[in-house]
């Protein structure tokens, strides 16, 4: 399975001079006939502990740490392994008795043990592990949110401790977005993360935006032209 770093990543400003978060990175893979994007937080210390993610897609009139002013652009277009479970009329009277579920970002342990996680969309605090302990905060929409995360949505480690230590890889997976294969439309969103240094209780914060998808050829050319103009102005 081919894995490659894609457009999107960088930015970080923390509340402390000892900040060790260095930005987001995005890795694209293919699984189950879908294009899958994994979003990671990257660090320089293996003992840092991730605590929570919040303000997803929140607009910022004074962008901090490479956030975008609009908060988000484009559509996530996430697909789920529990998506489009239709409404059910149990007694045939034409009235819905059980409302359908268009898909959620809260993957339970069952989806991981079933092997469907590789092609699903979900939020997480530590990637695909047995006792991951990820919980959604009240900012998530209810009923379920389907193909997009709610504005300012957040999630956190419901079992804090050593489980979310960054470790030797120096990164922690926070979000996976699965799309229908061939959907290359661009989606960018702000995201804020809380974390702490190992053995401390002081919260630090990392800010930034990430991007998934691939620009159309014309857009790539325009980006290159914009860079050329910038370089000429600085010359």
DSSP string for residues in the chain: ---EE-S-------SSTT--EEEEEEEEEEETTEEEEEEEEEES-TT-EEEEEEEET---SS--TT--TTSEES------TT--B--B-SSSSSS-SB--B---S---HHHHHTTGGGG--EE-SSSS-TT--EEE-TTS-SS--TTSPPTTEEEEESS-SGGGB-TTTTEEEEEEEEEETT----EEEEEEEEEE-TT----EEEEEEEEES---HHHHHHHHHHHHHHHHHH-
Instruction: Specify the pLDDT at position 86.
Output: 57
- Average pLDDT estimate for 99-127: 75
Interval 72-97 mean pLDDT: 76
Banded model confidence at residue 108, pLDDT cuts 50, 70, 90:
low
What is the pLDDT confidence band of residue 104, given thresholds at 50, 70 and 90?
confident
**pLDDT score recorded for residue 95:** 75
> 168-177: per-residue pLDDT in tens?
889 889 999 9
Per cent of the chain over pLDDT 90 is 35
pLDDT, position 143 = 60
Binning pLDDT at 50, 70 and 90, where does residue 1 land? very low
- Answer with the residue of higher pLDDT: 144 or 137: 137
Q: For residue 2, with 0-12 CB atoms within 10 Å meaning exposed, 13-18 middle and 19 or more buried, which class applies? A: exposed
Q: What is the pLDDT of residue 9?
A: 40
- Compare 91 and 196 and report the one with higher pLDDT: 196
pLDDT of amino acid 62: 81
How much is the pLDDT for 99? 61
209 has pLDDT over 90:
yes
Average pLDDT over residues 22-44: 94
**Which residue ranges make up each domain of the chain?**
4-234
- Mean pLDDT value across residues 26-40: 94
Give the model's pLDDT for residue 222. 43
């Amino acid at each position: 399975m081919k894995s490659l770093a894609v457009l999107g990543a960088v930015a970080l400003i923390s509340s402390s001079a000892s900040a060790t978060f260095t930005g987001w990175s995005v890795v694209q893979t293919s699984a189950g006939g879908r294009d899958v994007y994994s979003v990671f937080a990257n660090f320089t210390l293996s003992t840092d502990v991730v605590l929570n993610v919040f303000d997803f897609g929140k607009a910022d009139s004074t962008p901090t740490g490479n956030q975008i002013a609009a908060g988000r652009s484009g559509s996530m277009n996430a697909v789920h392994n529990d998506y489009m479970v239709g409404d059910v009329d149990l007694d045939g009277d034409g009235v819905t008795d059980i409302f359908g579920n268009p898909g959620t970002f809260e993957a339970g342990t069952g989806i991981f043990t079933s092997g469907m996680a590789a092609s699903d969309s979900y939020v997480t605090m530590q990637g695909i592990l047995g006792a991951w302990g990820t919980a959604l905060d009240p900012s998530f929409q209810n009923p379920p949110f389907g193909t997009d995360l709610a504005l300012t949505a957040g999630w956190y480690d419901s079992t804090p401790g050593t489980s979310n230590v960054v470790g030797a890889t120096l990164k922690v997976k926070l979000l996976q977005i699965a799309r229908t294969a061939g959907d290359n439309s661009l989606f960018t969103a702000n995201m804020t993360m809380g974390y702490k240094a190992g053995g401390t209780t002081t919260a630090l914060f990392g800010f930034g935006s990430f991007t998934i998808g691939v620009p159309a050829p014309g857009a790539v050319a325009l980006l290159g032209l914009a860079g050329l103009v910038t370089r000429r102005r600085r010359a």
